A and B are shown apart, each in its own frame.
Chain A
Amino acid sequence: MNEITPEIDRPHIPWPSHEDGGRGSLWNYFLLASLVVLFIWSYQGSEIRLAQLFSREGGGEILSYIKKLFPPDFSPPVLREAFRGAIETFAISFIGTLLAVVIALSVVFFASRNLIFSGLLYEMEPRRGWRRTLRLLPYLCAKSLLNLLRTIPEMVWALIFVFLVGLGPFPGVLALGIHTGGVLGKLFGEVLEDVDAQPIESLQSTGANRLQILFYSILPQVLPQFISYTLYRWEVNIRVAAVLGFVGAGGLGQRIHIAINLFFGNQLLTLIIAIYILVTAVDYLSAYLRRKVI
């Protein structure tokens, strides 16, 4: 009798449970409600006056402001000044990004776990030795240094450096280099931490020391990604360098600041066009280099 009642062997497929769906949707409702609350709170707090924006008066104000920008001022002295500002902005972003690479490369090897205290390279060492603790120390220092550099925005670094070394493009270079150094350090660290282990192991088995392993198996693997991240940050930095001048750190931003404050609308438009061209050109250059190098 048992052989012809195969019910027990039948796989048990549960009905879709309503409870699960209910809990999920409750959570969704909660999320939605908190989003709405956040939205209303923000709406009240941020002095939104959309009515003013679309009223004849407010809208007219904006329109008249835009009208004052046209036509752009293409007289030779303004163009020369815009050109000089663009070149200076380019220089700030270029040197700043290189400085960032130097900072990131000098810190990142201490800040990646698999190079400094754990993983394949150190598996022969005693687990809880004092040497391990000694290695943990630079790791933590490097990590927190990178965090510190990264958390403070470029503009605030620029404010600080303008105080420290005076007005001009140099504080802009330092600000970009320091902040971007933190960002690149984090990105490089992530690349280093998921490097492929097999080449390392095979080099290690030939008796290479750690420095040789670093140069012949780790760096060749990570270099393309390092370059790609650096180019990406350069694209970001050209945009930042264009506005660093607002706090006195040179470049196009300084000229824009002056043009806005003195209500030179036509010159302002010229400078904005200069930013547009510069940013677009750097984007294309960076894309070209990325294709070429990698």
Chain B
Amino acid sequence: MRNPSLSSISRSEKSLFPYLFGLIFLVGFLDSWWRAEVRPLAFFEKEGREHLWKFLSGMFPPDLSWNFLSLMLHPALETIQISVMGTFIAVVIGFPFGIIGTRTFSVGGVLNEADVKGSPSRFVLRWSGYVMARGVLSLFRSIPEFVWAFMFVRAVGLGAFSGVLAIGVAYGGMLGKVYSEIFEGVNYRPLEALQSTGANKLQIFFYGWLPQILPNFVSYTLYRWECAVRASAILGLVGAGGLGTQIEISMRMFDFREVLTILIILFFMVAAVDYISARVRALL
């Protein structure tokens, strides 16, 4: 008589996977160590020590003069504005693409059974729409927002607008993917019930789909907004407005007191946004 647990143990003992994995891991590690030019003692060499000391001693005390703070007020607010508009554009991009990229809404599932059956041309048309939406979303999100920002700075000029577009496009791709996952997860019974009363697709969407997904939808969008605040704070490094530009300038001028001040501002800003977002999500 076979004992399943025993056989599984002996099979796992015979498996080559751990050895193979360990070997690949080790080789990859050594190769990466060499390629990444890791110097574990960098901070103990003379040069590194001097730089570290210059940096740390240069940071204190932070520059809290009224002059500098008032200068920073506008970039800090601009960072928030970029994140809000960027998230808005991301929703505008992600929502329609997310719907088209939902298999159960555009291609198969209860809703489309009657439409698609016995009509291969219609099926192919819808399927190609679905694949295209998926492809666009995947393209948007796999190019990092930094690269988008850099390209938009070249295309529409320096300033906050290119940051907005970069966040909008990159986060649109991410939101679209997550939205379609949320859409896939809805309960089909209400949709079917609506369909049986003769509701058309738009009505089904508004009365069967939307009420189910709304909490998840809002909370994920808010989460992305938090991420967008962090992202827009550093997009300025490539000239897309906000606090990042100031960090870049202060860093280039080796004024570490200003760097510390900006980091403190950034800390409080991110904490405030996290708090607001958490409060709103708790309301849902």
Please tell me which stretch of B120-128, B157-165, B206-214 contacts chain A, meaning at least 4 of its Cβ atoms lie within 8 angstroms of it. B157-165
Contacts of A52 in B (CB 8 A): 156
B32 contacts A90, C-beta separation under 8 Å: yes
A170 contacts B142, C-beta separation under 8 Å: no
Q: A49-B161, A164-B55, A292-B21 are in contact. List 18 more A-B contacts (CB 8 A).
A: A27-B283, A31-B283, A39-B84, A39-B85, A43-B85, A46-B160, A48-B85, A48-B161, A53-B156, A58-B156, A95-B29, A95-B36, A151-B266, A159-B248, A170-B37, A173-B38, A246-B237, A276-B143
A residues within 8 Å of B by Cβ? Answer: 27, 31, 38-39, 41-43, 45-49, 52-53, 58, 61-62, 65, 87-88, 90-92, 94-95, 98, 151-153, 155-156, 159-160, 163-165, 168-170, 172-173, 239-240, 242-243, 246-247, 250, 253, 256-257, 260, 272, 275-276, 279-280, 292
B161 contacts A164, C-beta separation under 8 Å: no
B130-171 residues with Cβ-Cβ distance < 8 A to A are 139, 142-144, 146-147, 150-151, 154-156, 159-161, 163-165
Is B93 located at the chain interface by the 8 A CB criterion? no
Please tell me which stretch of B2-10, B73-81, B97-105, B197-205 contacts chain A, meaning at least 4 of its Cβ atoms lie within 8 angstroms of it. B73-81
Contacts of A65 in B (CB 8 A): 151, 154-155
Contacts of B48 in A (CB 8 A): 164-165
B81 contacts A41, C-beta separation under 8 Å: yes
Contacts of A242 in B (CB 8 A): 144
Contacts of B147 in A (CB 8 A): 243, 256, 272, 275
B220-254 residues with Cβ-Cβ distance < 8 A to A are 230, 233-234, 237-238, 241, 244, 247-248, 251, 254
In the bound assembly, the distance between CA atoms of A275 and B150 in angstroms comes to: 15
Can you list, as one digit per residue, whether each of B162-182 has a CB less than 8 Å from chain A (1) or not (0)? 011100000000000000000
B36 contacts A46, C-beta separation under 8 Å: no
B32 contacts A279, C-beta separation under 8 Å: no
Contact of B142 among A27, A88, A280 (CB under 8 A): A280
Once A41-B81, A45-B160 are accepted as A-B contacts, the answer to whether A272 and B38 lie under 8 Å apart by CB is: no
Sorted nearest first, the 7 A-B pairs with minimum C-beta distance are A91-B32, A45-B81, A42-B84, A42-B81, A243-B146, A91-B35, A46-B160
User: 20 A-B contacts, Cβ less than 8 Å apart?
Assistant: A42-B84, A47-B241, A48-B85, A58-B156, A90-B32, A94-B29, A94-B32, A151-B266, A155-B146, A155-B244, A156-B263, A163-B254, A164-B43, A243-B147, A260-B154, A275-B147, A276-B139, A279-B142, A280-B142, A292-B17
In the bound assembly, the distance between CA atoms of A92 and B165 in angstroms comes to: 28
A156 contacts B142, C-beta separation under 8 Å: no
| Distance in Å: Cβ of B12 to nearest Cβ of chain A | 12
Contacts of A246 in B (CB 8 A): 146, 150, 237-238
Is B107 located at the chain interface by the 8 A CB criterion? no
Who on chain B is nearest to A245 by CB?
A: B146
Once A159-B247, A164-B43, A239-B144 are accepted as A-B contacts, the answer to whether A169 and B55 lie under 8 Å apart by CB is: no
Contact of A275 among B43, B144, B283 (CB under 8 A): B144
Can you list, as one digit per residue, whether each of B20-46 has a CB less than 8 Å from chain A (1) or not (0)? 010000001101110111110011000
A151 contacts B267, C-beta separation under 8 Å: yes
In the bound assembly, the distance between CA atoms of A210 and B52 in angstroms comes to: 38
Who on chain B is nearest to A93 by CB?
A: B32
Contact of B42 among A43, A58, A163, A165 (CB under 8 A): A165
Who on chain A is nearest to B144 by CB?
A: A243
A95 contacts B38, C-beta separation under 8 Å: yes
B99-123 residues with Cβ-Cβ distance < 8 A to A are none
Who on chain A is nearest to B252 by CB?
A: A159
Once A58-B156, A247-B237 are accepted as A-B contacts, the answer to whether A152 and B78 lie under 8 Å apart by CB is: no
Who on chain A is nearest to B244 by CB?
A: A155
| Distance in Å: Cβ of A236 to nearest Cβ of chain B | 11
Contacts of A160 in B (CB 8 A): 55, 251, 259
A173 contacts B85, C-beta separation under 8 Å: no
